[in-house]
Amino acid sequence: MAAELVEAKNMVMSFRVSDLQMLLGFVGRSKSGLKHELVTRALQLVQFDCSPELFKKIKELYETRYAKKSSEPVSQPHRPLDPLTMHSTYDRASTVPRTPLTGPNIDYPVLYGKYLNGLGRLPAKTLKPEVRLVKLPFFNMLDELLKPTELVPQNNEKLQESPCIFALTPRQVELIRNSRELQPGIKAVQVVLRICYSDTSSPQEDQYPPNIAVKVNHSYCSVPGYYPSNKPGVEPKRPCRPINLTHLMYLSSATNRITVTWGNYGKSYSVALYLVRQLTSSELLQRLKTIGVKHPELCKALVKEKLRLDPDSEIATTGVRVSLICPLVKMRLSVPCRAETCAHLQCFDAVFYLQMNEKKPTWMCPVCDKPAPYDQLIIDGLLSKILSECEDADEIEYLVDGSWCPIRAEKERSCSPQCPILVLGTSDANGLLSSPSVNGGGSSTLGGSGGGGSTAGSAENGKPGADVVDLTLDSSSSSEEEEDEEEDEEDEDEDGPRPKRRCPFPKGLVSAC
């Protein structure tokens, strides 16, 4: 029975569109669609619903087709093939080779393997652009095992299941086994499953459908969970990343069965399988240092362009300051980089930026909060040179001519201000300043009553003392002064006006008070 099944599939692969339509019409299936859709439909029919009548019809169509070619034999023995093998080295840049059936080297997976999966039962539709997924910097694609294929619901149930059957080639198995381990049990070469929206307008990011579950052979694969949300009213987010299936697969010529369970809530999703090599942040950094360094002269020309005088602007920019501290980790820059699409000159550290995106990929510039993907990153050659020459400053300033200068001197002056001190007081006969006592006695001393003791506010080591003001005095002292002034006025009224005081300043001098 297995030999007849393989022979029937090989016959179906040699059919033209008219033969496929006759076969599908014989069993009451839809005859519309492109040839690869008809082939997929017919092969699924042979795989799951093959009956003696169907096999007889396939043989009849095959003999009718090749009976017209008298120079060629009607049938020839064929090389046994694995009916579930999926061709995984499909070259996207070239067309699928058309191998004649009569030749002994027919390759069944090359012709239809990329369409053999339980996801291919699509309704008849016109040709439309294919779904594309965004390129992931940390995953270098080696082979495309399954092109993005739409998840089509089979009934009206909310929970749907879509199977996919394929096998790895010996070369792919060898790549996986010989790859190094990133972590214990995790190989660098992996088979990953990616899911996205079925939108053909632009490359799509990974997006999981609701209630997703992935089963590989007989075991369920772990899917990234939700990030907890600390903000009230904000739903937790789920990091949508490629799902690694390698540890649950048969690393041999045996077939692997993948079943995707998903919630059907109106949105359309597509799935794809890839053989990839996962990279680390250090590998991406090394690649960036190799191909992403911008020459210092080009960076200098960019500085001049930024500071060029704009005739329409009323404000002339004579310089721009750039910090040598990374805005991500508040440490001195080691590998200054930025995105070419960014309008600013400020850089961030490539080492920490790649490490953060390795853990949680966002690829957003920490300076301007705009997209900064890996393929747009550059290393600023001019700032790298400045970092090696200026080791004792945390900030520099670019000038109009493209030169630069550190601004550490300005910082030092601001840290230690030197201001003159104003001293208030009256001079005595010896030219020294004296201050009144706390209780109003101008000649009383604070340091004791000895004859040789110094008075409060007198000169110490040749420096004048400062006035001492007692802020603890209450309002009672001021009221006593007012009473004394009133008594003096009464005495003045009784005895007559007091004689005028003599001016203590020589003639021709005026007090500045």
Task: Give the Cα separation of 60 and 401 in Å (integer).
Answer: 85
The answer to whether 342 touches 365, Cβ cutoff 8 Å, is yes
Task: Give the Cα separation of 509 and 513 in Å (integer).
Answer: 12
Length of the chain equals 513
Q: What is the mean pLDDT of the chain?
A: 75
CATH fold of 283-310+317-407 = Herpes Virus-1 (3.30.40)
Residue 400 has phi, psi (to 5 degrees) of: -65, -35
The answer to whether 276 touches 190, Cβ cutoff 8 Å, is yes
Per-residue confidence (pLDDT) for residue 212, from 0 to 100: 92
pLDDT digits (tens, 9 = 90+) for 281-330: 999 999 999 999 999 999 999 999 888 865 666 666 778 999 999 999 99
The answer to whether 262 touches 210, Cβ cutoff 8 Å, is yes
Residue type for position 221: C
DSSP 401-450: TS-EEE-HHHHHHHHS---------EE-TTS-EE---TTS-TT--SS-S-
Dihedral sign from CA coordinates of 18, 20, 24, 27: positive
Which residues lie across from 189 on neighbouring strands?
277
Q: Which CATH class is domain 139-227+237-279?
A: mainly beta
Strands 377-380 and 293-294: parallel
The token pair at 55 is 């096999």
The b-or-e profile of 454-483 (16+ CB within 10 A means b, else e) is: ebbbbbeeeebbeeeeeeeeeeeeeeeeee
CA nearest 196: which of 272, 121, 257, 141? Answer: 272
The token pair at 259 is 């079943």
The residue behind tokens 């297995």 is 2
DSSP 53-117: HHHHHHHHHHHHHHTT-TTS-S--------TT----B--TTSPPP---TTSTT--HHHHHGGG-S
Tens place of pLDDT for every residue, the chain, 513 residues?
567 777 787 788 888 888 888 888 887 777 777 887 788 888 877 877 777 778 888 888 888 877 654 444 444 444 443 333 333 333 333 333 333 333 333 343 433 344 444 444 444 444 568 899 999 999 999 999 999 999 998 888 899 999 988 889 999 999 999 999 988 889 999 999 999 999 998 999 999 999 999 999 989 999 887 777 777 777 777 888 999 999 999 998 889 999 999 999 889 999 999 999 999 999 999 999 999 999 999 999 999 988 886 566 666 677 899 999 999 999 999 999 999 999 999 999 999 999 999 998 999 999 999 999 999 999 999 999 999 998 888 999 999 888 999 987 554 555 555 555 444 544 454 544 444 444 444 444 334 444 444 444 444 445 555 555 555 555 555 555 555 555 555 555 555 555 555 555 555 544 444
Cα-trace Rg, the chain = 44
The answer to whether 172 touches 90, Cβ cutoff 8 Å, is no
SS (H, E, C) 349-373: EHHHHHHHHHHCCCCECCCCCCECC
The residue behind tokens 């950094």 is 285
Domain ranges of the chain: 1-67, 139-227+237-279, 283-310+317-407
Distances from the Cα of 206 to the Cαs of 241, 271, 429, in angstroms?
6, 10, 91
Which residues lie across from 162 on neighbouring strands?
260
pTM, rounded to two decimals: 0.56
Contacts of 469 (CB under 8 A, 6+ apart): none
Please tell me whether residue 135 adopts helix, strand or coil conformation: coil
**Regarding the domain with residue range 1-67, which homologous superfamily does it belong to in the CATH classification?**
SAP domain (1.10.720.30)
Contacts of 421 (CB under 8 A, 6+ apart): none
pLDDT digits (tens, 9 = 90+) for 34-55: 887 788 888 877 877 777 778 8
